[in-house]
Structure 1
Amino acid sequence: MSKDQQFRLPGYQQYSVPKGPNSHGSMILVRATIPSSEVEPVHSGDGVEAQAIRIHLANDSLVVYNIYKLPTKRLEAGELLSQATQELVLIAGDFNAHHPTMNSTTRMNLDGRHLVELLTDVPEITLINTGEPTHILGGTLDLTFISTELVPVAQWEVDDEPVTTLQRQLL
């Protein structure tokens, strides 16, 4: 969304990064009854768009990341995924990363290899995608990682209805 466009969803707190010369724009919506605040995201690579919020829970907090990486940029996700060693995290976005572990129908690229190596090196983080395509033409561009201790209570699915792009909505 550009700066002139306004999007409001009643009952939700909106955290957004406007579309601009160096940003495709992004948004995280949190139900208004859930305490939350914006936080500075860790560096994920030059030109990689990252947005982060903290959801304040009764006895803990959860940091939610929204990531977009252009295919031409390099992902540096070591610090990002290592956040799971310090706090509860949910990291989701379009990583433009390809590896058979994430999508058996694609060839591997450097970013895909990088993420798979990090999953081995950082056992506190888990990829929860089910293998179901997240793009209507097939392929898994959108990935969701969570703190490993959250896996027993996590659910991941793809909504079959496209929103406004060729990608499908993750629920």
Structure 2
Amino acid sequence: MSKDKQFSLPGYQQYSLPKGSNSHGSIILVRATIPSSEVKPVHCGDGVEAQAVRIHLANDSLVVYNIYKPPPKRLEAGELLTQATQELVIIAGDFNAHHPTINPTTTMNYDDHHLMELLTDVPEITLINTGEPTHILGGTLDLTFISTELVPLAQWEVDDELTSDHFVTTTTLRMELLPPPPRPPPRCNTKNANWKLYQDEIQK
């Protein structure tokens, strides 16, 4: 989306990264009735485009990342995927990945090694693609990662009717099924309280 072509969709809050000389352009749309705010994305590598928006939930929040990694660029996803150790995340986009785990008929490249090592080292994040191609030529270039605790709430699918050279992928999260966060530890240790001293102090 270029700066001179404004896009708007009634009823949605728009967060956009305009198309420019060093940007292909991207957009995140959030229903206007859902509280949200833009977040500064972590660095994902030189020339890798990233957007981040925080969705404010009743008892928690979810950070949504939109990623585009051009084919010649190197992905640096360590800080990105380890976000899941600190908060709930969904990370989706065109990673131009060709790892045999995702695409059995392709040759592994640097980014594929990098992503698979991170998935091994960071159990808090999970790749939820089902193995279906996301590109009309058969590749699975578009990946979706979510916080592992969200996996039981997630459904991922490809829509083969909405397409350009990539198919649309849809991730549905049933957030109402997410257990409430654990209660914080008590600020006072009442087991070791000197209640007589406390009562005496109150009387004074």
Aligned to 2:50: 50
- Structure 2: runs of 5+ lacking an equivalent: 171-204
Asked if the contact 1:134/1:140 (under 8 Å) is kept, the reply is yes
Q: Is the 8 A contact 1:105 1:139 kept in 2?
A: no
Letter in 2 for 1:115: L
Residue 166 of structure 1 aligns with which residue?
165
Spell out, residue by residue over 1:37-88, the C-alpha distance to the aligned partner (whole angstroms, 9 max, x if none): 0000000001100000000000100000000001100000000000000000
- What is the match of residue 108 of structure 2? 108
Aligned residues: 170
1:130-141 matched pairs, under 5 angstroms? 130-141=130-141
Does the 8 A contact of 1:98 with 1:107 survive in 2?
A: yes
Q: Specify the alignment match of 1:30 in structure 2.
A: 30
* 1:70 is aligned to 2:57: no
Bigger relative contact order (CA 8 A; separation at least 6): 1
In 2: Cα distance, 1:77 partner to 1:90 partner: 14
| 1:156 counterpart residue number | 156
CA drift at 1:105: 2.0
Alpha-carbon distance in structure 2 between the residues aligned to 1:160 and 1:10:
26
Q: Does the 8 A contact of 1:97 with 1:110 survive in 2?
A: no
Identity across aligned pairs (percent)?
Answer: 83
Alignment of 1:77-92 (within 5 A): 77-92=77-92
**2:146 and 2:105 mapped to 1: Cα distance?**
24
**Mapped partners of 1:104, 1:31: distance in 2:** 37
Could you state the TM-score of these two structures normalised by the residue count of structure 2?
A: 0.82
Q: Which has the larger radius of gyration?
A: 2
Deviation per CA, 1:122-150: give whole Å up to 9, x if none: 00000000000001121100000000000
CA distance in 1: counterparts of 2:10 and 2:159, whole angstroms? 22
Indicate the SS of the match to 2:64: strand
Preserved contact between residue 98 and residue 113 of structure 1 (Cα < 8 Å)? no
TM-score normalized by the length of structure 1? 0.97
More helix by share: 2
Distance 2:22 2:130 in 1: 32
Task: Find the aligned partners of 2:75 and 2:20 in 1 and give their Cα distance.
Answer: 21
| Runs of 4+ with deviation above 3 angstroms | none
SS of 1:80's partner is helix
Rounded to whole Å, the distance in 2 between the matches of 1:133 and 1:21 is 30
Structure 1: runs of 5 or more not aligned: none
Paired AA for residue 62 in structure 1: L
Kept in 1, the 8 Å contact 2:96–2:141? The answer is yes
Deviation at 1:161, TM superposition (A): 1.8
Partner amino acid, structure 1, of 2:134: T
